[in-house]
């Protein structure tokens, strides 16, 4: 037996394509504000590991359901004949070219697809839908009604009364709000539709759950790699002797910040890719805290740990004093004022943005000087990077593929970020894992350290989505 096929049918503009996009995890499904974006059936398989779990067919909406039903009723002889009459309806009008939408949407159903009938529960029920439902009943195929709500109003109960008479299963399903758990619940409904499909649906449920875990694991590693790379980042600039260093320093600082931002963008793309959000636009608004660059002071105050919490992790001394730069033989190193100001105790060293990393100057043997920035020495940096990544992850991993609006990243309210709500013991463990990543020079051990950090992050991701922490 083939994996099940479901034809998503209904009136125009009720969210059929949106439901297909959500269920097939496909953000390329065409959805438009104006009606009639779907004229011909479009097939969207849900694949995991290139295996098709089930297939959804997006269909044009019913256009002339009453006429079509009238045609069928004229030819009705007995209930047993009804599905044949529907087939006859399609065949005969192939010749005349009439009822193009009805023919198109009925064809896969007559070929054996299950029916997912979509209505908009924010609009009142009206008898004009009865012809559509009656035609679907005549096909005799397994069918479920889905009450989508496009607007704010709630007419779900009256719809339910009507739908219950035509469909064995009636479920609310909001295409835009459908996160993973909601989709999974719907699949449990699919199990009830037809006995023979049950093993396929069960397999789909298992595959989706396994895939969900894989994505979370890989996201955690992507975040750990980002933080690891950011912490290790150093940049060099050659500067001639006898010139003012200041402009070179500013340039180098700007390049450093840009490189950190770029590394963050790379991680965001990776996570979005894992969750199959291939066309997502992130809002880079100046006002939005999280999409602001990493260096906005207000972000630094809001995300990451509080000063007290940082101190409580107990590992700061090592972080601030350690790290640093291997000096070339004969090179003279000057710690800049910014660095000294950023030593333990200085407020700018805790939360400020000036002393993200140390800048050093070396004399070069063949003349000229080498300006070097990095590695990161601000202990708050990694926590902020983590908080920002958690926020992004929570939104992306729960986002319905039906949505076409921009992803707007904003921390909730005036609260501190998620990491500052963690118990001290867990913050300490994470700080220890971060320290290991920061210090490990051997590539194999560095990989172990990142894997270990990723394990800790995975727990954070799980809770970021379930809302606990
Ligand atoms: N707010 C909201 N809008 C929705 C939802 N589902 C669909 N829409 C919107 O309703 C319109 C029609 O959706 P579409 O899926 O193209 O309907 P179709 O013609 O039945 O395929 C689009 O503008 C969608 O963005 C939903 O769950 N919430
Ligand atoms: Mg459509």
Give tens-digit pLDDT for 101-110: 999 999 999 9
User: In whole angstroms, how far apart are CA 263 and each of 1, 233, 308, 373?
Assistant: 47, 10, 28, 16
End-to-end, the C-alpha distance of the chain in Å comes to: 44
Least confident of 131-135, 175-179, 229-233, 343-347: 343-347
Tens of pLDDT, residue by residue over 450-463, are: 999 999 999 999 99
Do 126 and 151 touch, CB atoms closer than 8 A? Answer: no
Predicted pLDDT of residue 241: 82
- The Å distance, Cα 145 to ligand 1 centre, comes to 16
Q: Among 16, 20, 24, 31, say which to mutate for ligand 1: greatest number of ligand atoms within 8 Å of CB.
A: 31
CA of residue 59 to ligand 2 center, whole Å: 7
| Residue 32, pLDDT score | 75
Per-residue pLDDT at 286 exceeds 50:
no
This prediction's pTM: 0.85
pLDDT digit string (tens) for 164-197?
A: 999 999 999 999 999 999 999 999 999 999 999 9
Convert the pLDDT of each residue in 115-127 to its tens digit: 999 999 999 999 8
Q: What is the pLDDT of residue 339?
A: 31
Length reported for the chain:
469
Pocket test for ligand 1, best of 33, 35, 152, 175 (most atoms within 8 A of CB): 175
Looking at all shown ligands, the one closest to residue 12's CA atom is 1
pLDDT of residue 326: 27
Residues of the chain with pLDDT > 70: what percent? 80
Mutate-to-test residue for ligand 1 from 9, 13, 17, 18, highest number of ligand atoms within 8 A of CB: 18
pLDDT at 282: 85
Domains and CATH numbers, the chain: 5-193 (3.40.50.300), 213-466 (no CATH)
Ligand 1 atom nearest the C-alpha of 177 is: 27
Helix 100-110 / helix 82-96 crossing angle, nearest 10 deg: 140
Using the mean position of ligand 1's atoms as its centre, give its distance from the Cα of residue 16 in Å.
Answer: 7
Comparing 297 with 174, the larger pLDDT belongs to 174
Question: How many helices (H) and strands (E) would you count in the chain?
Answer: 17, 9
User: Residue 408 pLDDT more than 50?
Assistant: yes
409-440 residue pLDDT tens: 765 555 567 888 899 999 999 999 999 999 99
Tell me the CA–centroid distance for residue 33 and ligand 1, in Å.
8
Query: Which residues does a 6 A CB cutoff place in the pocket of ligand 1?
Result: 10, 12-18, 31-33, 37-38, 61, 148, 150, 174-176, 402
* Atom 3 in ligand 1: residue holding the nearest Cα: 150
Nearest listed ligand to the Cα of residue 146:
1
Q: Nearest bound ligand to CA 19?
A: 1
The three-state secondary structure class of 112 is: coil
Q: What is the pLDDT of residue 448?
A: 98
Phi, psi (deg, nearest 5) at residue 235: -130, 145
Q: Which atom of ligand 1 is nearest to the CA of 148?
A: 27
Nearest Cα residue to atom 22 of ligand 1 = 33
Q: What was the pLDDT predicted at 360? A: 72
pLDDT at 155: 97
In contact, 133 and 118? CB cutoff 8 Å: no
pLDDT of residue 333: 30
Top mutation candidate among 15, 59, 129, 149 for ligand 1, by most atoms within 8 Å of CB: 15
Are 58 and 37 spatial neighbours (Cβ–Cβ below 8 Å)?
A: no
For residues 441 and 347, the model is more confident at 441
Selection from 445, 443, 435 nearest residue 456 by Cα: 435
Q: Per-residue confidence at 36, pLDDT binned at 50, 70, 90?
A: low
Which atom of ligand 1 is found nearest the CA of 176?
Answer: 27
Pocket test for ligand 1, best of 20, 150, 152 (most atoms within 8 A of CB): 150
363 versus 301: the higher-pLDDT residue is 363
d(CA 82, ligand 1 centre) in Å: 32
CA of 30 to the centre of ligand 1 (A): 11
pLDDT at 305: 67
Instruction: State the closest ligand 1 atom to the C-alpha of 20, by its place in the atom list counted from 1.
Output: 15
Q: How far apart are CA 456 and CA 292, in angstroms?
A: 26
Confidence category of residue 353, pLDDT binned at 50, 70, 90: very low
Tokens for 170? Answer: 């009636």
Centroid of ligand 2 to alpha carbon of 190 (angstroms): 21
Q: Which two tokens stand for residue 453?
A: 């950090």
Q: How far is the CA of 58 from the centre of ligand 2 (A)?
A: 7
Please give the DSSP secondary-structure letter assigned to residue 192: H
State the closest ligand 1 atom to the C-alpha of 10, by its place in the atom list counted from 1. Answer: 20
Which atom of ligand 1 is found nearest the CA of 35? 19
| 158 has pLDDT over 70 | yes
């Amino acid at each position: 037996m083939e994996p099940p096929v479901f034809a998503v049918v209904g009136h125009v503009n009720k969210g059929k394509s949106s439901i297909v996009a959500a269920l097939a995890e496909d953000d390329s499904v065409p959805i438009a504000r104006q009606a009639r974006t779907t004229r011909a059936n479009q097939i969207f398989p849900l694949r995991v590991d290139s295996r098709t779990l089930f297939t959804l067919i997006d269909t044009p909406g019913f256009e002339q359901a009453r006429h079509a039903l009238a045609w069928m009723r004229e030819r009705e002889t007995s209930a047993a004949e009804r599905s044949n009459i529907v087939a006859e309806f399609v065949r005969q009008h192939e010749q005349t070219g009439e009822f193009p939408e009805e023919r198109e949407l009925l064809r896969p159903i007559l070929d054996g697809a299950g029916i997912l009938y979509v209505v908009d529960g924010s609009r009142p029920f009206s008898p004009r839908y009865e012809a559509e439902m009656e035609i679907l009943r005549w096909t005799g195929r397994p069918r479920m009604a889905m009450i989508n709500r496009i607007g704010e109003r709630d007419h779900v109960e009256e719809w339910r009364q009507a739908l219950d008479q035509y469909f064995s299963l009636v479920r609310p399903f909001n295409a835009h709000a459908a996160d993973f758990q909601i989709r999974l619940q719907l699949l449990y409904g699919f199990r009830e539709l037809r006995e023979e499909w049950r093993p396929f649906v069960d397999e789909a449920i298992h595959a989706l759950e396994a895939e969900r875990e894989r994505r979370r694991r890989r996201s955690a590693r992507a975040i750990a790699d980002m933080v690891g790379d950011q912490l290790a980042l150093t940049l060099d600039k050659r500067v001639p002797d006898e010139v003012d260093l200041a402009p070179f320093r500013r340039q180098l600082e700007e390049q450093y910040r840009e490189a950190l931002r770029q590394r963050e963008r790379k991680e965001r793309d990776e996570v979005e890719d894992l969750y199959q959000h291939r066309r997502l636009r992130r809002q880079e608004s100046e006002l939005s805290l999280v999409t602001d660059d990493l260096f906005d002071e207000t972000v630094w105050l809001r995300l990451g740990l509080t000063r007290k919490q940082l101190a409580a992790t107990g590992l700061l001394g090592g972080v601030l004093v350690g790290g640093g730069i291997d000096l070339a033989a004969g090179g003279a190193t000057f710690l800049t004022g910014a660095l000294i100001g950023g030593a333990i105790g200085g407020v700018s060293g805790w939360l400020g943005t000036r002393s993200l990393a140390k800048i050093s100057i070396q004399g070069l043997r063949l003349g000229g000087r080498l300006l070097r920035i990095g590695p990161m020495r601000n202990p708050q940096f990694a926590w902020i990077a983590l908080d920002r990544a958690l926020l992004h992850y929570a939104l992306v991993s729960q986002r319905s593929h039906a949505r076409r609006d921009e992803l707007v990243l904003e921390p909730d309210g005036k609260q501190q970020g998620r990491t500052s709500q963690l118990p001290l013991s867990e913050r300490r463990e994470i700080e220890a894992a971060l320290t290991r990543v920061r210090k490990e020079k051997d590539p194999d051990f560095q990989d172990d350290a990142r894997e270990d950090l990723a394990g800790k992050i995975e727990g954070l991701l799980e809770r970021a989505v379930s809302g606990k922490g």
